[in-house]
């Protein structure tokens, strides 16, 4: 049935060869739908984690007013027509991005993620910032993994449909959990009669480690699938070496440059600069050793990154504020400033 419907879609006799789709459009849309659901689950759980961190900080503060800004919970999960349009826009971008470019994006983020975890400062702020930047890459990882795992399947559309249904169910659960926590967590945790809120109060600190372990498994599978997908386009080992050598050098230089930029610039500017630099470098690389379709897909990646990062600027602000509080240099400065302020006050009294 699906082959009959897709036979009416434009194919290579209407479009140029480099612009024609290499997979079934229905399969691509289902893969993109799974990727968009994964992004929704990640954002919802991150907002729940940050909200719980703010509430724990509020409870520990003696004055009753948190010193950490509480603007992260003001952005609730998108609902209604606007939320659905944003969701299907991200799903459409992931469906249009080819498996080759999605695999390259996944490999670049895996290298950058390992480097970021090694050089990250202690605390969950840097980890939250890294996970916020991984939204679109997570969608690419899920779509490329499904593309690899379902190659040659006789009922591929049915497997992808089941995966999309399960992903949709998990995304709705995570969105409802976020809305419940943002709306009534303070009341329920104080009254102690809600099982969900009491469970989050007890097991909330384990939410971030569990999320990190899930993402680690996802990107591990996606990295293996990405290498296999890219190698399928080469006919010999010489062509593969000609492609992987500049790619490895380019990725290594980009990771070193982006680590220096993130330490020098504020969080918002650093994230935007990181997106422009890594996708721009990937585009230059594809202009030399890639195809025109890859360049078009990288341009779509710009839209995908923007559609994922712009609605989550509050999470980046929360991560940067938490990094400033957890920075030991700031603690030392505060300790040094307190005696100086006392001496100034004594001089004024005299």
DSSP string, 256-283: HHHHHHHHHS-HHHHHHHHHHHHHHHHH
pLDDT attached to residue 268: 60
Q: Which tokens go with 176?
A: 């409802």
Dihedral angle sign, alpha carbons of residues 318, 313, 183, 127? negative
Q: DSSP secondary-structure letter at 77?
A: P
Percent of the chain with pLDDT over 90: 22
Segment 235-258 mean pLDDT: 72
Q: Single out the residue of 128, 130, 138, 94 nearest to residue 112, CA to CA.
A: 130
CA dihedral 117, 121, 122, 126 (to 10 degrees): -70
Reported as a pLDDT band with limits 50, 70 and 90, residue 82 is confident
Segment 175-185 mean pLDDT: 87
Checking if the pLDDT of 135 tops 50, the result is yes
- Worst-scoring range by mean pLDDT, 168-172, 203-207, 213-217, 316-320? 316-320
pLDDT attached to residue 173: 93
pLDDT attached to residue 8: 47
Reported as a pLDDT band with limits 50, 70 and 90, residue 9 is very low
Checking if the pLDDT of 59 tops 90, the result is no
pLDDT attached to residue 267: 58
Reported as a pLDDT band with limits 50, 70 and 90, residue 169 is very high
pLDDT attached to residue 78: 54
Q: What gap in Å lies between CA 157 and CA 24, rounded to an integer?
A: 9
Checking if the pLDDT of 222 tops 90, the result is yes
Asked if 316 contacts 271 with a C-beta cutoff of 8 angstroms, the reply is yes
pLDDT attached to residue 284: 77
Q: Which tokens go with 334?
A: 């505060």
Q: What gap in Å lies between CA 85 and CA 219, rounded to an integer?
A: 27
* pLDDT tens digits for range 255-293: 666 666 666 555 566 677 777 777 877 787 777 766 778
Checking if the pLDDT of 242 tops 80, the result is no
- Worst-scoring range by mean pLDDT, 24-28, 39-43, 51-55, 323-327? 323-327
* pLDDT tens digits for range 284-322: 777 776 677 888 888 899 899 989 988 888 888 877 776
Checking if the pLDDT of 122 tops 60, the result is no
pLDDT attached to residue 335: 47
Reported as a pLDDT band with limits 50, 70 and 90, residue 340 is low
Reported as a pLDDT band with limits 50, 70 and 90, residue 40 is very high
Percent of the chain with pLDDT over 70: 70
pLDDT attached to residue 76: 47
pLDDT attached to residue 4: 45
Q: What gap in Å lies between CA 143 and CA 103, rounded to an integer?
A: 9
pLDDT attached to residue 184: 82
pLDDT attached to residue 73: 46
Angle at the Cα of 37 (from 108 to 162), degrees rounded to 5? Answer: 110
**Longest CA–CA separation in the chain, Å:** 92
Checking if the pLDDT of 74 tops 60, the result is no
């Amino acid at each position: 049935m699906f082959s009959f419907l897709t036979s009416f879609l434009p194919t290579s006799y209407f479009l140029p060869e480099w612009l024609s789709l290499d997979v079934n459009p229905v399969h691509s849309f289902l893969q993109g739908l799974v990727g968009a659901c994964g992004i929704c689950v990640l954002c919802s759980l991150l907002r729940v984690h940050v909200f719980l961190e703010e509430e724990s900080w509020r409870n520990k503060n003696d004055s009753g007013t948190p010193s950490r800004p509480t603007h992260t919970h003001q952005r609730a999960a998108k609902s209604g027509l606007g939320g659905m349009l944003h969701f299907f826009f991200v799903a459409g971008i992931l469906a249009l991005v080819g498996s080759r470019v999605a695999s390259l994006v996944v490999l670049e983020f895996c290298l950058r993620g390992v480097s970021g975890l090694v050089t990250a400062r202690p605390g969950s702020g840097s980890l939250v910032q890294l996970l916020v930047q991984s939204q679109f890459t997570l969608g690419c990882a899920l779509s490329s993994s499904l593309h690899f795992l379902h190659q040659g399947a006789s009922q591929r559309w049915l497997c992808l449909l089941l995966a999309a249904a399960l992903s949709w169910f998990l995304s709705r659960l995570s969105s409802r959990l976020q809305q419940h926590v943002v709306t009534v967590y303070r009341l329920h945790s104080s009254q102690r009669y809600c099982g969900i809120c009491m469970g989050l109060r007890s097991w909330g600190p384990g939410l971030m480690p569990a999320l990190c372990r899930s993402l680690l498994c996802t990107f591990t599978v996606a990295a293996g699938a990405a290498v296999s997908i890219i190698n399928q386009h080469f006919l010999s080992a010489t062509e593969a070496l000609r492609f992987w050598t500049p790619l490895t050098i380019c990725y290594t230089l980009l990771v070193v440059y982006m680590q220096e930029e993130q330490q020098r610039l504020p969080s918002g500017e650093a994230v935007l600069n990181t997106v422009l630099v890594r996708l721009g470098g990937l585009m230059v690389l594809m202009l030399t050793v890639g195809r025109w379709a890859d360049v078009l897909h990288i341009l779509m990646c710009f839209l995908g990154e923007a559609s994922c990062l712009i609605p989550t600027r509050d999470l980046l602000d929360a991560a940067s504020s938490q990094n400033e509080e957890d920075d030991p240099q700031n603690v030392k400065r505060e300790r040094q400033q307190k005696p100086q302020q006392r001496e100034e006050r004594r001089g004024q009294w005299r």
